[in-house]
Amino acid sequence: MTTLAEPRQAQAIERGLVTRVVDRLGGGVVQVFMILVALFWLIPTLGLLVVSLRGETDNNSSGWWTLFTKPAQLTFDNYSSLLASGFSSSFWNTVLITVPSTVLVIGIAAMAAYAFAWIEFPGRDTVFLVVIALLVVPVQIALIPIAKLYGTLGIFGSILGVVLFHVAFGLPFAIFLLRNFFVGVPRELLEAARMDGAPEWRIFATVVFPLAKPAIASLGIFQFLWVWNDLLVALVFADTENQPMTKALQSQMRQFGTNVDILAPGAFLSLIIPLVLFFAFQRYFVQGMLAGSVK
């Protein structure tokens, strides 16, 4: 026994040593590789930020990376002239489009998801499969028909039209997500409430909805980011006075070379809010996960 065991142990130790050495060496390679990858992902955005903070002549004569040797190039001129040029109105249009789209999707989808999860009705499964099928329907399919419809209704070009479009196309995912969450709410909670004779809308509002906060938070941020970052829908349905930032910037793309001093700060302004929100909600997501698992 011992004689058998000993060499095996020695072998194991030896192998352990070898793997450790290999790991150490490999670990170094992995570290370097991952640092390079991270730089690869950071540099383009950093470039945008730096370009947005340099004057036009500097941008035309040298690369943004020269900032590190000549920090004196930094200036906020691009930003102040951008804001002076009326860009801020497109910022407000973005907000006016994004906030209602997000709130409406959450409300409407939560009601539908509740019905799919907790109310018996004939054909429920079939209807839900249709919702799942709609998940992948491309936005393009609706551009022409809805443009025509909006023309008839007289809301073509308005913020309302853009909002409704975003709400409709956000619904399949929203319903899918919330329904899957609602289904996981313990039955006993609902049945207890129903026993007590609480009306269905009150169970929805006081039992299920509050429990679903984590799911609603994540749905909210998805929808927010989607609408905030949308270009195509705005391009078709928003006219110039109602255009969000993405469309306003797109219209400057034609003369990219000469418009860098508008495009770079504009693009950076448009991405800063999603980015902040994204990092802030990161924590919220974790809390939601923990809360979910405790319950």
Partner 1 sequence: MTERLDGPQAAGGGESAAGASSGPRETPADPSPNSPSSPTSPSSPGSSGGSPAAASPSPSTSTSGSTGSPAAAGPPVRLGPSPKLAVLFLLPALLLLAAWMIYPVVYSIWRSLYDATGDRFVGLSNYISIFTDSSTLTTIRNNVIWVVVAPIIVTALGLIFAVLTERIRWATAFKLVLFMPMAVSLLAAGVIFRLVYEQDPDKGVANAIITTIHDTFSSGASYPGARPRENDQAPAVVQDGAVVTRQPAQPGTPVLIPLVGIGQDLMQDAPPAKAAPAPGGDGLSGTVWLDVVRGGGGTLNQIDPQEKGLGGITVEAVSGGVVKATTETAADGTFRFTGLPSGSYVVRLPQSNFTAPFNGLTWLGPTLITPAIIGAYIWVWAGFAMVLIAAGLSAIPRDALEAARIDGATEWQVFRKITVPLLSPVLLVVFVTMIINVLKVFDLVFIIAPGSVQPQANVIALEMWRVSFGGGGNQGMGSALSIFLLVLVVPFMIFNIRRFRRDEG
Q: Is 149 a binder of partner 1 (CB under 8 A)?
A: yes
| Residue 72 CB, nearest approach to partner 1 (Å) | 18
Q: Is 279 a binder of partner 1 (CB under 8 A)?
A: yes
* Among the listed residues 6, 14, 191, 241, the single contact to partner 1 using CB under 8 A: 191
What are the tokens at 103? 């709130």
Residue 209's CB is within 10 A of a number of other CB atoms, namely: 18
| Residue 248 CB, nearest approach to partner 1 (Å) | 10
* Among the listed residues 90, 97, 214, 242, the single contact to partner 1 using CB under 8 A: 214
Q: Is 152 a binder of partner 1 (CB under 8 A)?
A: no
Q: Is 264 a binder of partner 1 (CB under 8 A)?
A: yes
**Nearest residue (CB) to partner 1, 24 versus 72:** 24
Q: How far apart are the C-alpha atoms of 99 and 85, rounded to whole Å? A: 24
Please give the residues from 3 up to 32 whose contact with partner 1 meets the rule CB under 8 A.
15, 27, 30-31
Q: Read off the amino acid at residue 17.
A: L
**Nearest residue (CB) to partner 1, 89 versus 218:** 218
Please give the residues from 69 up to 98 whose contact with partner 1 meets the rule CB under 8 A.
none
> Using the 8-state DSSP alphabet, how is residue 145 labeled?
H
What residues contact 115, with CB distance under 8 A and at least 6 apart?
121, 124
Which residue is associated with the tokens 């802030």? 280
C-alpha dist (Å) from residue 77 to 59, 74, 81, 269:
13, 9, 6, 14
What are the tokens at 10? 């020695």
- What is the per-residue binding string for partner 1 in 98-117, x denoting contact by CB under 8 A? ----------xx-xx-xxxx
Which residue is associated with the tokens 């255009």? 243
What are the tokens at 232? 């195509």
* Among the listed residues 1, 7, 24, 41, the single contact to partner 1 using CB under 8 A: 41
- What is the per-residue binding string for partner 1 in 231-260, x denoting contact by CB under 8 A? xxx-xx---------x--xx--xx-x---x
* Among the listed residues 10, 17, 21, 34, the single contact to partner 1 using CB under 8 A: 34
Q: How far apart are the C-alpha atoms of 46 and 36, rounded to whole Å? A: 15
Task: Give the DSSP H/E element, type plus range, for residue 110.
Answer: helix 88-118
* Among the listed residues 10, 13, 25, 37, the single contact to partner 1 using CB under 8 A: 37
